[in-house]
């Protein structure tokens, strides 16, 4: 039988088979030998061990169209990256690392800034300026005031979307607003450190309707861009693209080379300072990696 993994927890994988239901499965040992781990979103083949108890074994993982390590998911159509406008203040370096990871994987992305009901207009304008320049699709929401929730639903229609972001930004509240099948546990914000408590402990696939799914993924706190070389990094900052090939030197990495068109655009305010500084930090990390 063939189905899709909708949840994985503690070595058990829950596989949804159309017209047959949900099966609790273990992965065969051959996957461990091949260092291949089933992921939520995987299309798999299973052997049914007990039809009455809906138990089985995963025997084959079908080819993936994409795969992420953190969050650990496969076969997604797009990512919905959620940060808060305020409380907690968005960690732009972390956000830019996630955007780079999505760009490197070729996964379309929607950038959602939540909690507009407690945000200042200047903060909203600043974030819109930073990320719309890069061509990102940006939406601002408030689950308290239902702002742009219907618009968000339209963006998710007919797609399998991975929802990701740090803890405390309102991911669970957003998911509760866009579907009614699962009322997720929502966390509280620590007044002292303004950092959310983790409320999602495993990735799971949630059906919005017959053709739309969302993957809620555990909160993340750090991301490292170490899967590619430093020369590739510039290609994952979309706002650099208009200036590629116009620098004085061919193969310019936009770091310290004279006659750099990207740095000129930065000075003219056409590229956000925070984006460029985060690019330099990631570039240096990749450069240091090569030394070891």
Same domain, residue pair 204 and 110: yes
Q: How many structural domains comprise the chain?
A: 3
Same domain, residue pair 206 and 280: no
Last-in-domain residue among 194, 216, 238: 216
CATH number at residue 122: 3.40.50.300
pLDDT reading at 130 higher than 90: yes
- Phi, psi for residue 243 in degrees, rounded to 5: -105, -5
In a domain, 221, yes or no: no
Same domain, residue pair 201 and 83: yes
CATH number at residue 59: 2.40.50.140
Same domain, residue pair 92 and 190: yes
- The confidence score (pLDDT) of residue 181 equals 55
Same domain, residue pair 33 and 50: yes
Last-in-domain residue among 36, 63, 90: 63
Q: Which are the contacts of 246, defined by CB distance < 8 A and separation ≥ 6?
A: 261
Length of the chain in terms of residues written? 292
Q: Which are the contacts of 103, defined by CB distance < 8 A and separation ≥ 6?
A: 235, 236, 237, 238
How many Cβ atoms are within 10 Å of 269's Cβ, its own excluded? 10
Same domain, residue pair 15 and 148: no
In a domain, 182, yes or no: yes
Last-in-domain residue among 216, 241, 257: 216
Averaged confidence pLDDT in the chain: 85
- φ/ψ region of 254 (left if φ > 0, alpha if ψ in -120 to 50, else beta) reads left
Q: What are the tens digits of pLDDT across the range 168-178?
A: 888 889 988 88
- The confidence score (pLDDT) of residue 102 equals 86
CATH number at residue 286: 1.10.40.50
pLDDT reading at 232 higher than 90: yes
Q: What are the tens digits of pLDDT across the range 46-105?
A: 999 999 999 999 999 999 988 877 667 889 899 899 999 999 999 999 999 989 988 988
Instruction: Tell which residue, 22, 11, 178, 192, has the closest CA to residue 110.
Output: 178
- The confidence score (pLDDT) of residue 218 equals 62
Cis peptide before 71 (omega within 30 of 0): yes
Rounded CA separation 109/137 (Å): 7
Check if the beta carbon of residue 166 is closer than 8 Å to that of residue 220: yes
Angle, CA of 274, 275 and 276, to the nearest 5°: 95
Same domain, residue pair 30 and 149: no
In a domain, 224, yes or no: no
- The confidence score (pLDDT) of residue 272 equals 96
Full domain range(s) for residue 48? 2-63
Instruction: Tell which residue, 164, 175, 170, 174, has the closest CA to residue 220.
Output: 164
């Amino acid at each position: 039988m063939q189905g899709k993994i909708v949840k994985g927890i503690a070595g058990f994988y829950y596989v949804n088979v159309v017209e047959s239901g949900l099966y609790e499965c273990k992965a065969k040992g051959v996957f461990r030998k091949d260092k291949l781990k089933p992921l939520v979103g995987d299309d798999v083949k299973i052997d049914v061990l007990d039809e009455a108890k809906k138990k089985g074994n995963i025997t084959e993982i079908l080819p993936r169209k994409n795969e992420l390590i953190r969050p650990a998911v496969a076969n997604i159509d797009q990512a919905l990256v959620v940060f808060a406008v305020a409380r907690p203040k968005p960690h732009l370096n972390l956000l830019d690392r996630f955007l780079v990871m999505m760009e490197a994987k070729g996964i379309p992305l929607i950038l959602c800034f939540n909690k507009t009901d407690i945000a200042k207009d200047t903060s909203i304008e600043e974030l819109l300026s930073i990320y719309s320049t890069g061509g990102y699709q940006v939406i601002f929401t408030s689950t308290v005031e239902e702002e742009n929730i219907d618009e968000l639903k339209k963006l998710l229609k007919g797609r399998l979307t991975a929802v990701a972001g740090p803890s405390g930004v309102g991911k669970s509240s957003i998911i509760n607003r866009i579907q009614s099948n699962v009322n997720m546990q929502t966390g509280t914000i620590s007044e002292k450190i303004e950092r959310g408590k983790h409320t999602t402990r495993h990735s799971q696939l949630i059906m919005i309707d017959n053709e739309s799914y969302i993957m809620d993924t555990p909160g993340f706190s750090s991301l490292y861009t170490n899967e590619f070389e430093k020369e590739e990094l510039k290609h994952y900052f979309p706002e650099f693209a208009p200036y590629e090939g116009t620098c004085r030197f061919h193969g310019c990495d936009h770091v310290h080379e004279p006659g750099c068109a990207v740095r000129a655009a930065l000075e003219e305010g056409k590229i956000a300072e925070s984006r460029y500084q985060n690019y330099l930090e990631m570039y240096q990390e990749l450069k240091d990696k090569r030394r070891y």
